[in-house]
Amino acid sequence: MTITITRITKETRVGVLCGGLSNEREVSLRSGNNCLSALKRLGYENAELIDVDTDLARVLKERQIEAALLALHGRYGEDGTVQGLLELLHVPYSGSGVLASAVAMNKPLTKNVLQANNLPYAPTIVITDRELNSLDDLLGKIDWLPVMIKPLNEGSSVGVYKVTESSEIKALVEKTIKEFGGAIVEKYVIGREITIGVLEEPPAQRNGKDIWALPILELRPKSKAGFYDYEAKYTKGMTEFILPAQLSPEVTRICQELAVRTFRALHCSGYARVDMMVGEDGQPYVLEVNTLPGMTDTSDLPAMAHEFGMSYDALVERILMSCGLDK
């Protein structure tokens, strides 16, 4: 179903949906409060914060919400769940639709889309709880170290491990499957960790280029985990931001084009953030796509927008205007 809104004005009753039921609740609350403050500064006096719970449908109806700006992260918010509810209620919402949200949140499905579209990603083995009996055989196929062990459906690096010893892999895979229902074991690409914001212009503002990439942000985390983990993402001073990334003009162009191609392949809408590793040989590999990137004081997307010349408030308003995009 396509939901359209004639026009969002300063009088529109905007609900900033945040909090929710995922492991990323606290980060989402920070994103939501920041977005609401920006909307108030911009003059959207009817904007209000909504902490998402199981009674969301009732709350939206009672408060007569006309458009939803989504500041949710993780399961039950970034995975298509809330998007589906909003479509049933005919409430336009920011960001990607049900399908893109669900696929991007599921790491194995994302890799299937990448493969189908000839987009590069690191070698990966997917293991579900149904395959515990054949775990030794599956892990026996791994001939690369270090590896990343990740849950199938989480964000913000929740439950992610970087493993440098093969003897540690099995126990951590079993732990991940027990906690999250499944795991992926992914080759760790040695090189530069980068992320790229992608924006889609609202139809009324397009001028020949409807989807484009922001300046590339290189991430140099200082956490003990040795990668861009939850602590590094949301603790000030725990990550060195190199913006723009220290890449050659040619590699920069290739990575930005790859981010836009990935955005299109997953049928994302409005905005997203594409995480990559650039190997020592300059080859980029797509790690994952975040359809509702963080909007906290330490988040990546606002930093990239600022480097481009777009203020935080202007970015929030652009996100709000994505409510009018086809999903």
Instruction: Quick: pLDDT tens for 86-133.
Output: 999 999 999 999 999 999 999 889 999 999 999 999 999 988 888 877
The yes-or-no answer on residue 300 being catalytic is no
Residue 80 belongs to domain spanning: 14-94
CATH code (residue 90): 3.40.50.20
Let me know whether 147 and 194 are in one domain.
Answer: no
In a domain, 217, yes or no: yes
Q: What does the pLDDT average to over 209-219?
A: 92
Let me know whether 156 and 171 are in one domain.
Answer: yes
The yes-or-no answer on residue 273 being catalytic is yes
In a domain, 4, yes or no: no
CB 245 within 8 A of CB 252: yes
The yes-or-no answer on residue 31 being catalytic is no
Active-site annotation holder among 87, 186, 200, 288: 288
Let me know whether 62 and 145 are in one domain.
Answer: no
Active-site annotation holder among 106, 153, 156, 269: 156
The yes-or-no answer on residue 156 being catalytic is yes
The yes-or-no answer on residue 288 being catalytic is yes
The yes-or-no answer on residue 101 being catalytic is no
Tokens matching residue 116:
């189908």
pLDDT digits (tens, 9 = 90+) for 226-242: 666 666 666 677 778 89
The yes-or-no answer on residue 275 being catalytic is yes
